[in-house]
């Protein structure tokens, strides 16, 4: 049976798994915001990057936004541990507890007013707001019968390219991992450096030696080098085809290194809003920028940053800090609706872990991913995996 839906501006309708979908003409008011906590272990045991940082099990929060129509949307927030960005797992739940009472009764699909209210009710803490905003995009899609990818502009191709992060190890071990990841279809590799510069130089050289035609290598220091260390590294690898990503902690330090090298340059941790994007574009501080959904505060602001970069002609890696199936679906939605020539890469976090938290999430196919065509994010949480709610505000 085919269900035909006629779009009417400023109208709302119910979405349900049965075959009847009709407009109600009413706003969908937020009736309840809940949260679930779920651990996401890694297939490879641990994930290591600059400064000796390491995570074995990621602490993810699944956000559930229920409306007075009974329609429910889902989002997810999963910080990369408490020592990467100003974000941590329990902080997500504490922030939602503080923020949620201000949102009850608001129209879940009025994303502009909703984000304004979140910013007024809780200063900063962008990552706390990300899961709620993501769940409301899911609701917007479900209520209109359209995918989030479609709402964000529509697909530019059949699928899009992914990168594979190579966790920090000894140089020879990191080089050896390339063949295995290539067998999975990856052609873009993000090498985790940012440690001892002499070891990092060897890491870059050994992995670069494994690259094949058409492949790209990014040396991501995750802010781990001091300026003199970064200067030594870029000089030592100047004859190699490698991108340099966020070598130092501050924007100014990174800009200094940018001026000392002709390597393509990626900015990440220093860019977390529109002012930084505009400044970096003006200063010619980057060739590629990494936009993480939760770092910007959700899909609404990540899309704003994405669209600004499109207008500026800046290539992007579109992703998040970490996550499972729901975050992967959200990443796919914004990445797949980005012009192909400006999408440098993206990622599929749900392939890194051992636990699937939702059905219907995009799955990697030969190093590439495609966003769902189903309404909303196209995912249905596995409630038996999520377990009991850890938070409920109504």
Positions marked active-site: 192, 292
Is-contact 299 305, C-beta < 8 A?
no
For residue 54, the tally of other CB atoms under 10 A from its CB is: 14
DSSP single-letter state for residue 186: -
Query: How many other CB atoms are there within 10 angstroms of residue 227's CB atom?
Result: 17
Chain Cα centroid distance, residue 333: 10
Q: Which of 238, 336, 334, 233 is nearest to 291 (CA)?
A: 334
Distance separating alpha carbons of residues 32 and 71, to the nearest angstrom: 11
37: nearest Cα among 321, 392, 389: 389
Beta strands 30-41 and 57-67, pairing class: antiparallel
- Give Cα separations from 81 to 57, 59, 95, 105, 389 (angstroms): 9, 8, 16, 33, 22
């Amino acid at each position: 049976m085919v269900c035909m839906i006629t779009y009417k501006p400023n109208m709302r309708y119910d979405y349900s798994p049965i075959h009847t979908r009709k407009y109600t003409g009413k706003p969908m008011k937020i009736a309840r915001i809940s949260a679930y906590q779920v651990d996401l272990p890694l297939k490879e045991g641990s994930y290591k990057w600059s400064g000796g940082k390491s995570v074995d099990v990621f602490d993810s929060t699944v956000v559930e936004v229920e409306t007075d129509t009974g329609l429910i949307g889902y989002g997810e927030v999963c910080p990369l541990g408490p020592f990467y960005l100003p974000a941590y797992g329990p902080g997500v739940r504490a922030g939602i507890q503080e923020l949620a009472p201000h949102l009850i009764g608001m129209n879940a699909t009025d994303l502009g007013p909703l984000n304004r209210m979140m910013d007024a009710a809780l200063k900063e803490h962008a990552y706390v707001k990300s899961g709620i905003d993501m769940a409301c995009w899911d609701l917007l899609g479900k209520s209109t019968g359209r995918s989030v990818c479609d709402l964000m502009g529509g697909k530019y191709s059949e699928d899009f390219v992914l990168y594979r992060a190579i966790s920090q190890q000894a140089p020879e071990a990191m080089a050896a991992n390339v063949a295995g990841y290539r067998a999975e279809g990856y052609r873009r590799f993000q090498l985790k450096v940012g440690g001892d510069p002499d070891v990092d130089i060897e890491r870059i050289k050994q992995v670069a030696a494994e690259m094949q035609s058409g492949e790209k290598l990014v040396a991501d220091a995750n802010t781990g080098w001091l300026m003199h260390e970064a200067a030594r590294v870029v000089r030592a690898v100047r004859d190699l085809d490698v991108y340099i990503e966020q070598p130092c902690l501050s924007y100014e330090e990174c800009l200094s290194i940018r001026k000392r090298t002709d390597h393509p340059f990626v900015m990440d941790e220093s860019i977390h809003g529109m002012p930084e994007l505009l400044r970096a574009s003006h200063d010619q501080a980057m060739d590629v920028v990494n936009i993480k959904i939760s770092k910007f505060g959700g899909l609404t602001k990540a899309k704003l940053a994405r669209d600004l970069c499109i207008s500026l002609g800046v290539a992007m890696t579109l992703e998040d800090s970490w996550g499972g199936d729901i975050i992967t679906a959200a990443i796919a939605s914004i990445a797949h609706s980005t012009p192909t020539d400006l999408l440098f890469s993206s990622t599929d976090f749900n392939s890194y872990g051992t636990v699937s938290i939702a059905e219907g999430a995009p799955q990697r196919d030969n190093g590439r991913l495609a966003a769902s065509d189903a309404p909303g994010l196209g995912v249905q949480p596995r409630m038996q995996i999520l377990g009991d709610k850890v938070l409920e505000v109504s």
